[in-house]
A and B are shown apart, each in its own frame.
Chain A
Amino acid sequence: MAREVTTIVAVCAGLFFFLAGTIGLIRFPDTLSRLHALTKADNLGLGLIALGTMLQAQGPLQALRLVVIWLLVLVSGSAVSQLIALRVYRRSGQS
């Protein structure tokens, strides 16, 4: 029972971060602020969903794969965000 409740809470929180990130991506006025909104969805949104589904996973191996996916998206997402930010920064410096 506790497992189910934790799953529901974690997935709902993950969806909340995705929603917030999307609203930010649509509504924020400039590229860097939108990037800031996006990273929340990427890191926390997927992380919480992975946490929630991990509790429903069959066996530890499946759960481990979910952790790997989250870490992968965490690392690549943050690195790509850095690259985008660097690009926007350099271009604004040029013009």
Chain B
Amino acid sequence: MVEFLTAAAILLMAIVAAGLVRLLLGPGIADRLMAVQLLGTGSAGMLLLSASAVPMAGAVDVALVLGLLAALVSVALVKSADPSMAGEE
């Protein structure tokens, strides 16, 4: 079971790393933001998998904070990239 979960964590990392191609290609802010969103979710998943393979203190809390702060960053990005939502008009 430990081997399976570790292998799953590695595979997940490879998958979300591949998704970063969208960060390189763009072409817009929205597409790049999506790649980061996928990376955040994938990192949380990877932490959960590796924490259940080998018990690690705090891994679940790190995943929790990643999820919470990724939402904040995405909101800041979407809002500041779009003047119509920035409340300045």
Contacts and interface: CB of A to CB of B under 8 A. Distances in A.
A11 B33 contact: no
Contacts, number: 126
Q: Is the interface of A mostly helix, strand, loop or mixed?
A: helix
Contact of B8 (A15, A72, A87): A15
Q: Is the interface of B mostly helix, strand, loop or mixed?
A: helix
Given A53-B49, A84-B34, A26 B18 contact: yes
Interface residues on B, range: 35 or more
B41 A62 contact: no
Interface of B: 1, 4-5, 8, 11-12, 15-16, 18-19, 21-22, 28, 30-31, 33-35, 37-38, 41-42, 44-45, 48-49, 51-52, 55, 60-61, 63-64, 67-68, 70-71, 74-75, 78-79, 81-82, 84-85
